Amino acid sequence: MAAAAAAGGNSGGGKTYSFKVVLLGEGCVGKTSLVLRYCENKFNDKHITTLQASFLTKKLNITGKRVNLAIWDTAGQERFHALGPIYYRDSNGAILVYDITDEDSFQKVKNWVKELRKMLGNEICLCIVGNKIDLDKDRHVSVEEAESYAESVGAKHYHTSAKLNKGIEELFLDLCKRMMETAQAEERMKGNGSSQAASSRRGVQIVDDEPQATPAGGCCSSG
């Protein structure tokens, strides 16, 4: 959430950003492989040390600024689709993964984009990721279609292969930079003319924002 950036926003020079990124996409598109490749640099490896691959963190240093990235995996099965809002609320970024050999998974991504834009507006940085480019010969989603769609919804498009370790570093680095820009722009906006107290309370204000407060409060009764 954006508040995290504020919570880490020390008065000292070394600023630390904390970002929450959700991984969305159908089951079997390789969400887990993607994130395991990024955080552990391993693929389908028997020597993976982590007990789980559903919550992973990564510390980065981008142009002298510290960034703590928390990557939240989500259950991709169709029957858990309705639970999405509980996962992605307060997130700074979303990575929407589809399988380039599976047309359906791309349709799911489109649904997610619509939902995210409706619920979170433009606050959230979207990345659309076509995974498994090592299987390019079985491609069912055309590059042009995917890229033009991404552009039309204000998202960035990436091609990756967790197996070959292609495009993953770039994806996360780009996303971090964009999230930092968003956070900085937000800070500038809030910082203009308002007191110290107001800016430090910014995070809480965002959390208690009306449209978000409703799903937050009733997350377990209605969501």
What residues make contact with other proteins under the rule CB under 8 A?
A: 1, 3-4, 7-8, 10-12, 16, 18, 20, 23, 27, 31-32, 36, 46, 48, 50-55, 57, 68, 70, 72-77, 79-80, 82-83, 86-87, 90, 197, 200-201, 203-205, 207-208, 216-217, 219-221, 223
Provide the minimum distance between the beta carbon of 158 and other proteins in the complex, in angstroms, as a whole number: 20
The smaller minimum CB distance to other proteins, of residues 154 and 217, is found at 217
Provide the minimum distance between the beta carbon of 189 and other proteins in the complex, in angstroms, as a whole number: 17
Separation of alpha carbons 76 and 29, rounded Å: 9
The smaller minimum CB distance to other proteins, of residues 211 and 217, is found at 217
Q: How far is CA 199 from CA 50, 67, 89, 192, 193, in A?
A: 38, 20, 21, 9, 10
Q: Give residues with Cβ within 8 angstroms of 136, minimum separation 6.
A: 100
Provide the minimum distance between the beta carbon of 152 and other proteins in the complex, in angstroms, as a whole number: 29
The sign of the torsion formed by the CA atoms of 52, 35, 31, 80 equals positive
Provide the minimum distance between the beta carbon of 117 and other proteins in the complex, in angstroms, as a whole number: 21
The smaller minimum CB distance to other proteins, of residues 38 and 87, is found at 87
Torsion of CA 110, 115, 118, 124, to 10 degrees: -80
Strand duo 55-62 + 65-73: pairing: antiparallel
Task: Quote the tokens at residue 54.
Answer: 């559903």
The smaller minimum CB distance to other proteins, of residues 1 and 127, is found at 1
